Structure 1
């Protein structure tokens, strides 16, 4: 039996642990915090499994490999909502919608009636939109908690101290791994959570804007996650300007958000390499799995399968990087 340890219990570390446990390995996960929480970058994710929309700016592997994510999370017992994504623009930004449509061909065009049929609470607010049907979303915090609990039930050990353990190690520590991966950089993402009983959405909505694009992801109990900021910074504190732009864009999407309860504001720095693609590399007995950028829940399953496949089957992974 292969014995392995995983450093980090964010989305990358938990996915690697799940793949190892699925192969019958003896797995220990080391993380300074006993449970998923705001200390981890994954806590602040949007949870959109939207490979086609991400393909507007991301490279081809993000689209191809990201298409596997919804099925992987569903197999872990996580609730995955498969209602697609709505993409909108304000009237003055119509060119943004046309540009997006050219770059993301996996869409259906909607007129006002078609949009109202999918999202009744947006009736009368927009006269055209795109529906990217082959996408999904999940609640990232619920997914992290569920996967951790399931791994414990499957015999994976979680500890808060690394100790002096030796042997096969998967380092999934995000930016904390810059002691071994010096070309990692931080990309700050900011988010807000609102609660409103006056609006209901069935699926994530992306509001395109040339300066501050917005996505709104519905969650349970009237909650909505707002996000989209992408700032080259290691700073983990929300900025006033970015948060104001998020809230203003949400109000432009629907005035009901102006009366919503502001539940939470948060930020974190996501680990990224210069090309914004993840990497798998090896230094002795340590396999580094890192650089998920803004695609944590979307690409972590595929990256975990590659890393474990390399360790167990000696298969060179697609995202292999020679240090």
Structure 2
């Protein structure tokens, strides 16, 4: 079977790689295959199925957990992609922050930790931190390494081409995984949601866990890499521009330094702006749009986490016509599309 995948981000590449692994003749169409314009390039790579998304769309939780379970094998198949299973420390600076974060911790059935217990695990944390929790099943991966590895798997199958109409694709089946560009190709309601992310660099070892915290009402996550880089994110703005702003950078840095004062000596190496592809209910669109056309888009904050399960579900659907019932709540039909 000849399959055209429109979109060369982390979702499109993973779908293409899975289809090729199962014997399909795959071509991935990407307007900038050597570029870094997708949401994956900005993403920190937290694999956290118990986050805020489960409150927005409860049916999303089983999908997030199922994909999280696939990540160890998926990462191993790609080589060194920065996969780390040290877990996440949720932390809260003030009493109001504790109230905010405690909802997530309770939902995840995590045992509360005192400030001193948190600092036993992560000495660089501020002594002002009041409480927190440890999520042992949360992991991280470097999306930039994942995309590089997937491009290697699909060497010779990624074509530098902008697709403006699906009729341009000569294939037995088409998968639209074009992120924020999916709406123009399909009519599905996918909007860009701006996010600003910072990258800091210092001596390796300041942090060993992902930190997911609140500081004076500002939510921030800190994702440490083995080489000393720490990703700090992320704003969430209903905007379409690509401009980094002083206010966004200030809010991220202030919250990060409140939680981990030692970051003040780190070099600020990168300020990046990207756009998450969001849907009206902030859940992904995975399924058949019409005969021969399938969609894998709109993953919002969970694109990296949902990569392996999306690839599996879409490949099942394209090659066999059916897929796991876990995808039933995420079809294009919920937006009035066949």
Shared fold by TM > 0.5?
yes
Partner of 1:71: 72
8 A contact 1:212–1:229 mirrored in 2: no
Show the counterpart of 1:230: 236
Q: How many residues align?
A: 317
Matched residue, 2:160: 160
Q: How far apart, in 1, do the equivalents of 2:124 and 2:5 lie?
A: 45
- What is aligned with 2:4? 5
CA change 1:75–1:24 in 2 (3 A) is farther
> What are the equivalent positions in structure 2 for 1:1-323 lying under 5 Å apart?
2-35=1-34, 37-55=35-53, 57-67=55-65, 68-69=67-68, 70-77=71-78, 78-92=81-95, 93-105=97-109, 107-122=110-125, 124-152=127-155, 157-161=157-161, 164-167=168-171, 168-179=173-184, 180-197=186-203, 200-209=206-215, 211-280=217-286, 281-315=288-322, 317-318=327-328, 319-322=330-333, 323=337
Deviations 1:43-91 (A, max 9, x none): 0001000001345534334332222332353243344211111011113
Cα-to-partner distance string for 1:245-279 (whole Å, 9 max, x where unaligned): 00111110122222221100011111111011111
- The separation in 2 between residues aligned to 1:211 and 1:89, in whole angstroms, is 9
Q: Write out per-residue CA displacement over residues 105-149 of structure 1, whole angstroms, 9 at most, x where no aligned residue.
A: 2x2322344323321322745353200111100111111111211
- Residues 190, 243 of structure 1: 8 Å contact kept: yes
For structure 1, which segment, 73-82 or 3-12, has the greater mean C-alpha deviation from structure 2 after superposition? 73-82
TM-score for both structures, normalised by structure 2: 0.86
1:75–1:196 Cα change, 3 Å: closer
What are the superposed Cα offsets for residues 8-27 of structure 1, whole Å, 9 maximum, x if unpaired? 11011011112101211111
- Give TM-score scaled by structure 1 length: 0.90
RMSD of equivalent CA atoms: 2.2
Runs of 4+ in 1 over 4 A off after TM superposition: none
User: For structure 1, which segment, 113-122 or 26-35, has the greater mean C-alpha deviation from structure 2 after superposition?
Assistant: 113-122
Compared CA separation, residues 61 and 200, structure 1 to 2 (3 A): farther
User: Distance in 1 between the 2:11 and 2:136 partners?
Assistant: 26
